[in-house]
Every structure is written in C-alpha cells, then in structure tokens.
Structure 1
Amino acid sequence: MSDTNESATFPIAPNAVRYVKLGKGGKWERESLEKGILHFGFESADPVSLQLCREGKWDEIRIGWLEDGGFAAGTATSFSNQMKTYFEDRGDTLWVTFIDDKLHYGFLEPGEPERADPTDNSDWSSFRRMRGGWRSTDALGNALIRSSLPGTITKLSMYRSTICRVSDYEYLVNRINGWRSPELENADRARSSLLEALGVLIRRLHDRDFEVLVDMAFVNAGWRRLGRVGGNEPVKDLDLEIPLTRERAYVQIKCATNQECFVSSVANYKTREHYSRLFFVYHTSSIPLVNQWDDLGVVLMDAEDVARMTLESGLSDWIIDRSR
C-alpha cells in the first residue's frame, strides 16, 4: 500500500489508461489497496484459461465464455478483451479505480497473474502486483478526491463490468502529473481579471447601491435578513440569521471608512451578546484596515472580498449594470 509519491516517478507517460472495478460491489478494494495488488476475476487463474492466455489464444477464450459459459456473443467478446488487457499489460498501462471517494492509480509489475487463494477450490480469481502500490495523490501531493474531478472521470465508477477505457485520459494524466490544462489556465486568468474589474466597479457604487449589493450577496449565501438595510439604527445595517442553526450576525456597511470607525464598531459588537459574528464591510479606505478580533467572530471584508462574494453569488451582472 502506498499513499505517498516517494517512490513515484513523474511525469508519468502511460501507453494506455484503463479503469478497473475491483470486484463486484468493490469486494476486493480493501485487499487490493492494503496489499498493493490488482485483484481480478474472470477465472483468470484457472490452469486452462491461464495457458490460453500465455499462448494468446483469445478467440478460444471468447468461445469458452460463449459456449461453456453460456454468455451472449457481445458479452463473451467483452470478457475475452478484458482478460487480454489485464494479462498482456507489461507495466505501461495506467490503472485507475475509486476507493473511499478517492481516485487511486498505479502501474502493474511485469509478470504473470498469481492465484488469489490457492486453498479455495471455488475461487479461480487472480492478482497482479502494483509497482509501488496504489497512489491517490498527484505529483504535487494533492489528494485526488472524487468531488475535485470532472464528470468525465467520476462517471467511470458507474461502469458495470470490470475494465474499460478512459475517454478523457489526457486530462487524467495531466492531473496526476500536476499539470494544469490550457482551458483551466485561461479560466483562472479570466476569473482574476473579472474579480479585479469588479473591485474597481464596487468602489464606484454610491452608498445605497453598495448596501443593496451586500444585502443580496449575504441573502444569496444563505443568510436570512431580519432587519432592513439602511435603517435608522446608527450602528447596525443588516441583522442576519442562518435559518438552520439560528446563528445571529450583524453587518456594518461602509463605503469610505477608517480604522477608528472599525474599532468603534467592534467595541459596540462586544456589547451585543446575542450576536456571534460581526461583518464589517467596506470598499474604500486611505490605508488598509487591520482586524485583530478574528477570535471574537469579527470578519473584515474589503472591496476584493465583496467582489469574490458577489461573483460566487451570481451578482456580477448586477454590478456591471449599475456601473454603465
């Protein structure tokens, strides 16, 4: 078993990439991970089947599945092809699978399959050893978590048979090597440019539009407004609550402000025991404000923070329209 890249050689450059399901319902996943093996079925350790594999008589294996096994022609061909892929791999195929919501990958060591359990006459499954075991981190040490992978990769876990091709293999190899695709680089640059532009536009908003923007951003983020924006209360601009947890917070919204005003708002917040957080939101200050009260639930948000929040809330067009 290996979850580190200490013995891995990057970049990897496989001749083929295959997904493998480790047993029905994943019954061989844990064993394969712990022993650093690829456990494979299809009676691949049966002496007759093994000899046919050695001789490369894949059509005879197909006929065996068709006539002796009673499978349909397409299924028999599929079984034969999967056995061929497994048996003929000389260590240059990248094998991937999902275990515990992580993508694991590795290369087989050269050599023939071994019988998985010689003491069980009803079990003719086999295994081959993984070179360095299975790995679940990329070249940079980042975990290959299912939720961080695109659907073209995660859909592989829904495959019903054992071995299949990986259509989006270029992306997967690049991801394992720690390389970013040109499309992702372009998207990141575009996002950074948009955030920078939004920050400039946010600083141009007048008081009322800025208050409305902050209000919509918090509501879109899941907060429920209990008090209206821009009320007569001198300190509190927004009274918020998270419906599920009943957590209370209030938001102080300022266009132009300074450190003295921020300190005053924090002092007032300390007297309000029924609030667990203060959001001090502003877009302009002659010098950057300093937050020394993170441990008290004080969150300081400048124009850049508001830009990120509005982008994530889908409010970019609203800002652009207000700035025309």
Structure 2
Amino acid sequence: MSQNPINPKSAYYIKLGRGGAWEQECIQQKQTLRLGYHQIPDNLCRQGKWDNVQSILENIRGDSGTATRDKNQIRIFYEADETVLWVTFFGDRLYWGFSRPEITVLPDKTKSRPVIGAWSSTDIKGNPLQKYQLSGSLLRVEAFRGTICAIKDKDFKYLVRKINGVIEPDVDEALQAKATFESKIEALLHKLTWKDFELLIDLIFRQAGWQRIRVLGKTQKSIDLDLLYPLTGERFLVQVKSSAHSKQLDNFRKQMQNFQDYNRAYFVVHSPAPNFKKLSDDDIEVWFPRDIASRVVLYGLADWLITKVS
C-alpha cells in the first residue's frame, strides 16, 4: 500500500553505535534513534547551554575543532524537529524515518528519541531500498566517522526522490527505450528457426554462468537441457518448447516429481497458446517470449539474434 510522499526540510544520517552496535535494537526492537556522549549532562542540552557543552567536550577531546563538531551533532539530536528525515543503514538496506524530539536518558547515560511509527526500509510504494540500488554519492555517508551528518544538495534531493519512488526523467526515458528495444527483440525471436531458438536458450544460460551437462531429450518440438552451476553445484532442468499450452506444463510438472537431483526447473516456450497463463506461485519458472527477450538484452545477445535473422 502506497504512503503519502514525504517532504522533509532536511535530512541527517545517524550511525547507531560504534560499529553499528545499536542498529538491531533501535531498528528491529525499539524504533528509536540513539546517541552516545554519556559524559554530557542531559540538563545542559535541554536548557540549550551549548557553550557549557563545548567546554566539557574541549576538556575531553583536547581540541576545539573536534569538540565543536561533537557539540553540533549533539545539538542536532536534541533540537531536530519532526520535519527532519533520519536515515541509517542496516544489513543491505537503507532505513528512514521521522522522529519526535522527546529525549530519554538511558541507564548508561546514552540518549534516545522515538521514531514516529517505525523505521522503514522501503520506498512509499513498498519497493525495498537496497544498498546496491543506491547512488555511490549517497552511500558515502556510511563511511562518516562521526555520529550524525547532514545529507545536502543533490544527495538530499536524490534521497527524497528515492523514498518517494520518483524516477528521474532521464532514467525514465532510458527505461522506456529499453522496453521498446526488448519489444523489438521479442518480435525477432519469432523469426528464428527451431534449431537457432534452442541454441539461443542454451547461450542465455551459458552467459548466466551455467554449463550444459547433456541433452536429455531432443525432438522437433521440445528439448530438455541438464544444466550445472559450477560455483554451487546446483542443477537445473530446462524444457524448451516450440509451442505449448497449460496441459503440457502440467505434464512437465508431473515429470519433475521423478527427478530428485534438480534444484529448479524452467519451461521455455517459443510460441505459447493464447490461453496459456503463468502461475505466480508455480515451482517451475515459465519463460514466454517477452521474458526471453529481456534476457537476450541482459546477457548481451541482441547482436547475435539480429545477425541470425538478418
């Protein structure tokens, strides 16, 4: 379910403990932000006596510059209001949330403040915010040696767009162009001979790192490929059909019950019957021409296909 778009006035990255020591507790259990600096009296921060805080930190750090940076981070933690966006990283995802400035002093003299609702690791449309899908510029904040740092300018705008699930115009144009290209590739698939179509499917799996061990059966209408993934030892069985309908998939599913040494099965169809539909929870992965076309593009086989049908 989609949420309303966020519109923060500013954003901060917060490191939840040295080496992420508080991440699991803050994110999965208590839904909080947490700050160290146990030497700093809570009452000074609440009263806004930041010059006093500065003096304490200078005595601890022995350096006014470092003390100023620490003081500023503490001040942000105490004074940031509910319009401020907070982000952190945990596992392979970015987490975000807003927080009420209600400070609690914990028994170890560290401080916490509650997240409104809960930490989220998805955009407002429910898509996971996985680190590998985020810009390197934004990910640089994870290497910040302090506790809290501002996310500014382009990174701030990028972060808000990401959380709101907004695609940048040039990215959207590229995706549309890719979809158009895949549609053209799909049309070319139907021009392949059965032998070349069989070879193309073999090439797709080879490009993905699989090795063909043997051909289990070969007729004019179907072929079964026995594939091995060398790194893990997994084995896949692939049935390639020139044409097929749901009943043939059911037969293949029944046949698979007799094979005990395979991790997964694929049913690849050149020309599926009009009423042939995939099942979302099927234990057999079905590839229709559009699925094949996307993999032709993904694995760099478009030139091979174009040459074959030219």
Q: TM-score surpassing 0.5?
A: yes
> What is the deviation of 1:163?
0.8
Question: Number of residues paired by the alignment?
Answer: 304
Instruction: Confirm whether residue 69 of structure 1 aligns to residue 63 of structure 2.
Output: no
2:270·2:289 contact (CA, 8 Å) conserved in 1?
yes
* TM-score of the aligned structures, taking structure 2 as reference length: 0.76
2:78·2:101 contact (CA, 8 Å) conserved in 1?
no
Which residue in 2 is equivalent to 1:166? 151
Instruction: Confirm whether residue 209 of structure 1 aligns to residue 196 of structure 2.
Output: yes
Distance (Å, rounded) in 1 between the aligned partners of 2:97 and 2:246? 58
Tell me the secondary structure at the aligned position of residue 34 of structure 2: strand
1:45·1:115 contact (CA, 8 Å) conserved in 2?
no
Distance (Å, rounded) in 1 between the aligned partners of 2:26 and 2:237? 49
> What is the deviation of 1:323?
4.2
Classify 1:280/1:19 alpha carbon distance in 2 versus 1 (closer, same or farther; 3 Å): closer
Larger Cα Rg: Structure 1 or Structure 2? 1
Give the one of 271, 295, 308 matched to 1:309. Answer: 295
Tell me the secondary structure at the aligned position of residue 314 of structure 1: coil
Which residue in 2 is equivalent to 1:252? 240
1:262·1:280 contact (CA, 8 Å) conserved in 2?
no
Classify 1:61/1:200 alpha carbon distance in 2 versus 1 (closer, same or farther; 3 Å): same
> What is the deviation of 1:96?
1.0
2:215·2:226 contact (CA, 8 Å) conserved in 1?
no
1:44·1:83 contact (CA, 8 Å) conserved in 2?
no
Classify 1:165/1:317 alpha carbon distance in 2 versus 1 (closer, same or farther; 3 Å): farther
* TM-score of the aligned structures, taking structure 1 as reference length: 0.74
Give the one of 201, 219, 227 matched to 1:241. Answer: 227
Instruction: Confirm whether residue 25 of structure 1 aligns to residue 15 of structure 2.
Output: no
Distance (Å, rounded) in 2 between the aligned partners of 1:300 and 1:115? 56
CA RMSD in angstroms comes to 4.1
> What is the deviation of 1:174?
2.1
- Comparing 100-109 with 162-171, greater Cα deviation is found at 100-109
**What amino acid does structure 2 have at the position aligned with 1:189?**
Q
Residue-by-residue CA offset, 1:109-149 (whole Å, 9 max, x unaligned) = 245x33222xxxxx432222333343334323344344454
Distance (Å, rounded) in 2 between the aligned partners of 1:48 and 1:140? 41
**What amino acid does structure 1 have at the position aligned with 2:18?**
K
Alignment of 1:1-324 (within 5 A): 10-33=4-27, 34-43=29-38, 45-46=40-41, 49-50=44-45, 54-57=48-51, 61-62=53-54, 64-66=56-58, 68-110=59-101, 113-117=103-107, 123-167=108-152, 168-227=155-214, 237=223, 239-243=225-229, 244-245=232-233, 247=235, 249-252=237-240, 254=242, 257=243, 281-284=268-271, 287-288=273-274, 290=276, 300-324=286-310
2:198·2:240 contact (CA, 8 Å) conserved in 1?
no
Classify 1:278/1:234 alpha carbon distance in 2 versus 1 (closer, same or farther; 3 Å): farther
Query: Structure 2: which 5+ runs fail to align?
Result: none
> What is the deviation of 1:272?
8.1
Query: Structure 1: which 5+ runs fail to align?
Result: 118-122
Distance (Å, rounded) in 1 between the aligned partners of 2:94 and 2:173? 26
> What is the deviation of 1:308?
1.8
- Comparing 175-184 with 148-157, greater Cα deviation is found at 148-157
Distance (Å, rounded) in 1 between the aligned partners of 2:300 and 2:117? 45
1:108·1:128 contact (CA, 8 Å) conserved in 2?
yes
1:22·1:40 contact (CA, 8 Å) conserved in 2?
yes
> What is the deviation of 1:199?
0.6
Distance (Å, rounded) in 2 between the aligned partners of 1:297 and 1:37? 40
Tell me the secondary structure at the aligned position of residue 61 of structure 2: coil
Which residue in 2 is equivalent to 1:120? none
Classify 1:44/1:169 alpha carbon distance in 2 versus 1 (closer, same or farther; 3 Å): farther
1:22·1:162 contact (CA, 8 Å) conserved in 2?
yes
2:79·2:101 contact (CA, 8 Å) conserved in 1?
no
